[in-house]
Homo-oligomer: A and B are copies of this chain.
């Protein structure tokens, strides 16, 4: 990874940029099977369910989490197919979370398309999310591993706790870095960790290997979310598929804001306080916020933090043999970080 000096974002050459191609090639066959399970199991005799779920599921997501389950199984040279159903269960949990998140945030755009809550209303999004969440447990029960059920039911509870914690922290400029890390560790990284860890369970590996994959997924998840939160101040709808400045207008205290607030002078702090409280929502205010984030090095240092967690993810793979799978998982980390620019 390229070193950066504080306050200075190094643009990455798109030609040489890390990509998801290696991991996608690694798991291509398995993902066809996972996609079949997803399409099959989102069906219902109530037509609105596959219609709404299909909008989000077919809507261009990368399916990072099931890809990770499959790639970790490749890393362990697991020869079976049990993990296909479980990877679909993980994606259903994620999809249910997205549906509920968009209701909670009142979001209008995701992955470059109108959100389900805008098209079908909040009620339908809440209830179809509940359906997918239930369906994910049905899939896990069919697999029959109580250990997998334990890991994923715990991850689900932790995700919900993280979402509630984020809601509580919203519009509170006092939120500090460690509180923020707790939140993203719960709302994002817990499911990445579980997605990776369950592959070691189906492959019947020991606790150490389970926890190594858990650590890989968890650190990757944190890096992923840090980059997401940096992107929110540095994207437009066309590139990232959602509206820039959503977090700013929602009063979400993400790491860029925490750093800029901590490093700012009295005027800057007054601005951030007012902005997070919801009193600065114009395009000019967002432009001023972005300028402060750049001047204080907050965006660059959020990316530096992301690289730190990315490196920890890569190092967690240390115990596993080198090869195609490890290289693909390593490049997935680099991709998660580089996708910002």
Say yes or no: A103 contacts B123, CB within 8 Å. yes
On chain B, the residues within 8 Å of A97 by CB distance are 130
The answer to whether A14 has its CB under 8 Å from any CB of chain B is no
Q: Do most interface residues of chain A lie in helix, strand or loop, or is the interface mixed?
A: helix
> Count the A residues whose beta carbon is within 8 Å of the partner chain — how many?
42
Q: Is A154 part of the contact surface with B, judged by Cβ < 8 Å?
A: yes
* Contact of B144 with A157 in the complex, beta carbons under 8 Å: no
A130 and B160 in contact, given A146-B141, A146-B144 (Cβ under 8 angstroms): yes
Distance, CA A49 to CA B128, complexed state (A): 22
Q: Is A135 a contact of B157 with CB atoms below 8 Å?
A: yes
Report B-chain residues with C-beta under 8 Å of the C-beta of A49.
161, 164
The answer, among B44, B140, B144, B160, for a CB contact under 8 Å with A127, is B160
Given A122-B103, A161-B44, A165-B46, A141 and B150 touching (CB < 8 A)?
yes
The answer to whether the Cβ of A281 comes within 8 Å of any Cβ in the partner chain is no
Q: How far is the CB of A163 from chain B (nearest CB, A)?
A: 5
Which of A130, A138, A149 has its CB near the most chain B CB atoms (within 10 A)?
A130
Determine whether A81 belongs to the interface, using a CB cutoff of 8 Å to chain B: no
Q: Which residues of A are at the interface with B, using a C-beta cutoff of 8 A?
A: 44-49, 96-97, 100, 103-104, 122-124, 126-128, 130-131, 133-135, 137-138, 140-141, 144, 146, 149-150, 153-154, 156-157, 159-161, 163-165, 167-168
